[in-house]
Homo-oligomer: A and B are copies of this chain.
């Protein structure tokens, strides 16, 4: 099927072009029908006699014809693609079990709806640029508050948008979990076991997350604090440290805290991976978990079941969050009634495994023996 073509170069020489796509017009001509007929053969076979349909299909496959998805998108004003917007680099996103599982949930539901997925993350440092270039019908923004300038811009552009893990506002629909409640439950569990000396490993607030909107870091911290306060436990700033959400990040954070003389009997980690890292640091420092040190994570990623001992943590339905986000995006109830967006808040629960135990007696003031 001669679909190569000689192109005249400016200089007058003939040069072989890369294979030119077979277009709908080519097929139409070859089949002796109109473009419309070919289009129908693919998109609405019912509107053609079954003979012509098969005839056209035969010709088309023989010529290797494949409708151009871009042209199709332009004409239909629909890309059948949905974007997942993350403020971090994809490199980080893909290697973060939480994000991976969330994306899996999105993918599962998207597939059901026949939608493809595209990841949108800063392009040459600019989220705006990445968003502008993305050919998508809707965006799921994760971890970006409504106050984030990019989110605002997307909303203004009229593109469908669902935010995940961000403050609920009237401006756009959202999916979230009870971060504060979960954190409170984690802290209470440790308080109930008699712990009074805590170390909190916080996740990093997203870059440029804007002022007002509460990030999950804020919410979870608030949860921890409210439980501690209710129990009359102080929490000096020094005892909450921010760690990168990686195993290594958690490991280093705990090491440094230890070297700074902190001697908690319990650590509250805002993410399971951080907790896992901290567990390894503890092991290296010959601190036994849970005998000497209790630990509660957050998220309940798969690995949490397989650490040694298995990690006590706050379970959240990560995969379902992804699915629900897609449903909300598709359901589109807020477009009709602006200023009254739907919010779905999913439940979390404490899962007690092997990393929490009664606080060891008499471990106060150890901190002072240092140096």
| A157 contacts B124, C-beta separation under 8 Å | no
Check if A34 is an interface residue, CB within 8 A of chain B. no
Asked if A119 and B120 sit within 8 Å, CB to CB, the answer is no
| 12 contacts across the A-B interface (CB closer than 8 A) | A21-B158, A64-B156, A64-B157, A66-B157, A69-B132, A69-B135, A89-B108, A92-B104, A94-B100, A95-B104, A111-B124, A118-B119
- Bitwise interface map of A from 155 to 196 toward B, beta carbon under 8 Å scored 1, else 0: 011100000000000000000000000000000000000000
In the bound assembly, the distance between CA atoms of A97 and B100 in angstroms comes to 9
Q: Are B107 and A91 in contact (CB under 8 A)?
A: yes
Flag the segment in A198-206, A301-309, A350-358 that touches B. Answer: A301-309
Q: Is the CB of A90 within 8 A of B119?
A: no
The yes or no answer to A287 lying at the interface (CB within 8 A) is no
Query: Would B116 and A117 count as touching, CB distance under 8 A?
Result: no
If A19-B158, A79-B70 touch, whether A117 touches B119 (CB-CB below 8 Å) is yes
What size tier do the contact residues of chain A reach?
Answer: 35 or more
**B89 & A111 in contact (Cβ 8 Å cutoff):** yes
Residue of chain B at shortest CB distance from A20: B158
Say how many copies of this protein the assembly contains: 2
- A48 near B: Cβ within 8 Å? no
Which chain B residue lies CB-closest to A248? B302
Q: Does A130 contact B (CB under 8 A)?
A: yes
Closest B residue to A100 using CB positions: B94
- The minimal Cβ–Cβ distance linking A91 to chain B, given in whole angstroms, is 5
- Chain B residues within an 8 Å CB radius of A66: 132, 157
CB of A133 within 8 A of CB of B116, answer yes
Most B-side CB within 10 Å, residue of A67, A97, A135, A308: A135
Q: Which residue of B lies closest to A119 (CB)?
A: B117
Q: Contact between B90 and A101 (Cβ–Cβ < 8 Å)?
A: no
CA distance A49 to B107 in the complex (A): 46
Measured between alpha carbons, how far is A342 from B130 in the docked complex, in Å?
A: 31
Interface string of A90-128 (1 = CB under 8 A from B): 111011010011011001100100101111111110000
Indicate if A71 sits at the interface (CB-CB under 8 A). yes
Whether the pair B107, A116 counts as a contact (CB closer than 8 A) is no
A123 to B134, CA, bound (A): 21
Structural contact, A90 and B118, CB atoms closer than 8 A = no
Decide if A9 is an interface residue (CB 8 Å cutoff): no
Q: If A89-B111, A90-B117, A103-B94 touch, does A79 touch B135 (CB 8 Å cutoff)?
A: yes
**Which residues on A are within 8 Å of B, measured CB to CB?**
18-19, 21, 64, 66-71, 73-74, 79-81, 89-92, 94-95, 97, 100-101, 103-104, 107-108, 111, 114, 116-124, 130, 132-135, 156-158, 247, 276, 280, 302-303, 306, 308, 335
For A92, the chain B residues whose CB sits under 8 A away are 104
**B280 and A306 contacting across the interface, CB-CB below 8 Å:** yes
Q: B134 near A69 (CB under 8 angstroms)?
A: yes
**Chain B residues positioned under 8 Å from A80 (CB to CB):** 133
Judge whether B132 and A135 touch: CB under 8 Å.
no
8 Å CB contact of A118 from B68, B104, B117, B130: B117
Contact A94 B107 (CB under 8 A): yes
In the complex where A103-B94, A335-B18 touch, is A71 in contact with B69 (Cβ < 8 A)?
no
Residues of B within 8 A of A157 (CB): 19, 64, 66
- Per a CB cutoff under 8 Å, which of B94, B111, B122, B158 touches A101? B94
Out of B103, B104, B120, B123, name the residue touching A114 (CB < 8 Å): B123
A91, B104: Cβ atoms under 8 Å? Answer: yes
